[in-house]
Chains A and B, each alone.
Chain A
Amino acid sequence: MPDAQTPQLAFHNVSFAFDETPVLRNVSFELSSGETLIVLGAAGSGKTVLLKTALGLLRPTQGRVVLFGADVTAGSEREWFDIRSRIGVLFQEGGLFDSLDVADNVAYPLRNQPLRQCPEEQVLPKVEESLKFVDLGHTLDKYPSELSGGMRRRVGIARAIVTQPELMLYDSPTAGLDPITANIIVALITKGRDVRNATTVMVTHRFQDGEILAGFRYDTAAGGLGLTPDHRGDTQTRFLVLREGEMVFLGTQAELEASQDSYVSKFVPHT
């Protein structure tokens, strides 16, 4: 039985290749309960593949993936369905089902995840609560095509958190959004992390997104984000930088900012 110290997500020398082309090379890290990992990298560096490997949507060509203390690398699709019930995920474009309205999209994991078995009469209240969390309580009967890009991401977050999963994965949640909407989305991710103390992995190419997650905490009493006492320390946030599938950095924000590596330092804005 995994204890509190057991990593919720661990990669041990994970490699992945499409045909002969390597996309991930020997990536290793461990993420304990309540920790946050920001994965930075340029386009094509393997960020999304890393996330899909963590979800079992892609199987590593080498190495091991450990989730909630169990080695699931060679698990069957059915075993993965049980594991995925404990993980919330936001895809790059939201990944909403365009033939379902917002309410059915958010209700989808409640009705379909094998470990949930949510009674039908509890589905709507949970959907409404989840949509209220992302300030979209009025969009129940709208279809994804009727929503803006930012609203689609927020519905995607609502769907990811509706089952209260222990581990949250976000794939480029701010890609293609204006800075104001992007900050709203990252604030929601921070809120989702801090209200439930969820372990969080966020893939992004924007250092600012990671900076918010590392330096701010959601203050339930004030109803907004507040700086952490030392501006970065207590959110247990680490940064991982990928270059062409290779892990070139893993450490805290301070270490990232101090890095002399020419590739790594490109992600940190210098004033």
Chain B
Amino acid sequence: MFELIKRPILTFQGFVLLSVRALRGIFQKPYYWDDLFLQMDSLGIGSLPVVILTGFFAGCIMALQMARALQTYGATSQVGQLVAITLVREMGPVLTALMVAGRNASGMASELGSMKVTEQIDAMRALGTDPILKLVKPRLIATAILLPLLTILADFIGMIGGWMVSCVMLSLTTSAHYWNTAWRILEYNDLAQGLIKPFVFAIVIALVGCFYGMEAKGGTQGVGLATTRAVVVASVWIVVLTFIIGRVFVSL
């Protein structure tokens, strides 16, 4: 019984240790600015196409599905509100985070995993560099800055998608009414929720991706396993945290 739970406990302990060192490292010198900008470019610019496409079609689907339900009650003019609330509160942060987890947590795990199994991380430590500060910190900061920005973009593009379906395709309401209701329904609580979520998800994505990369062992097979685990664990945590953060905001 003890053997069964020993490995998950050790893994969690390793994750907590790495997280503490990485978060403390944010305030420690040196800062590797080149690595930070490289990561921001890879994560921010590199994720734009997938985030735009996902956001756009999420908005389209929302409007399409809501149209039928709203027609039943003769409330099709409210489609803008529904698209805006759902996107800003839940769909935007979660879908963007899942896309970035799939793209970047896997990238971090495979990159760091390859470095680990080819002794590059040991070499880094032997040559005077703390891998936490050089490898984990730039990825953590880049993700924490860019995921909220990508989420804002996905929310906006999603609303455009919703507008196209509801106003251009199905003529459910006028453009002015759509944008007016979408704008008016959003409260500070929604915006806070919509920005805190991606910030928390970003920390989880970066730390999980880096942790599984740094723990990789056993050659290329180990790197593949680390990559898979990073994506699965990060995705599950995103869904779990969505519920927890949502619950906190509902009770506020």
Contact = CB atoms under 8 A, between A and B. Distances in A.
A52 interface: yes
A211 interface: no
A271 to B, nearest CB: 36
Interface in A52-80: 52, 55, 57, 77
Nearest to A92: B119
A93 B123 CA distance: 11
A91 B127 contact: no
B122 A95 contact: yes
B122 A52 contact: yes
B138 to A, nearest CB: 13
A112 B129 CA distance: 6
A91 B118 CA distance: 9
Q: Which of B120, B122, B128, B130 has the most CB of A within 10 A?
A: B128
B127 A113 contact: yes
B122 A98 contact: no
A77 B130 contact: yes
A150 interface: no
A191 B166 CA distance: 77
Interface string B113-146: 0010011101111111110000000000000000
B183 to A, nearest CB: 45
B37 to A, nearest CB: 15
A226 to B, nearest CB: 32
A91 B119 contact: yes
A92 B126 CA distance: 13
Interface stretch (A7-15, A81-89, A229-237, A249-257): A81-89
A109 interface: yes
Q: Which of B120, B124, B129, B130 has the most CB of A within 10 A?
A: B120
Interface string B145-161: 00000000000000000
Nearest to B132: A77
A267 interface: no
A96 B127 CA distance: 11
Contact of B128 (A52, A85, A91, A98): A85
B126 A84 contact: yes
Contacts of B127: 84, 108-109, 112-113, 159
A125 interface: no
Interface in A148-162: 159
Q: Which of B119, B120, B127 has the most CB of A within 10 A?
A: B127
B126 A55 contact: yes
Nearest to A58: B122
A114 interface: yes
B126 A89 contact: yes
A29 interface: no
A113 B123 CA distance: 12
Nearest to A113: B128
Contacts of A97: 115, 120, 123-124
Contact of A81 (B118, B119, B122, B128): B128
Contacts of A91: 119, 122-123, 126
B168 to A, nearest CB: 46
Contacts of A112: 127-129
A109 B127 CA distance: 5
B118 A98 contact: yes
A114 B129 CA distance: 9
B118 A109 contact: no
A98 B121 CA distance: 12
A67 to B, nearest CB: 13
B13 to A, nearest CB: 13
Nearest to B28: A78
Contact of A95 (B120, B129, B130): B120
A76 to B, nearest CB: 11
Contacts of A113: 127-128
A77 B122 CA distance: 13
A83 to B, nearest CB: 10
B120 A98 contact: yes
Contacts of A96: 120, 123
Nearest to B130: A77
Contacts of B119: 91-93, 95
A116 B126 CA distance: 14
B209 to A, nearest CB: 17
Q: Which of A87, A97, A114 has the most CB of B within 10 A?
A: A97
5 contacts: A52-B122, A92-B119, A95-B122, A95-B123, A112-B127
The 5 closest A-B pairs by CB, nearest first: A95-B123, A113-B128, A112-B128, A95-B119, A91-B119
Given A92-B119, A95-B126, A116-B128, 9 more contacts: A84-B126, A85-B128, A89-B126, A91-B126, A95-B120, A95-B122, A95-B123, A96-B123, A97-B120
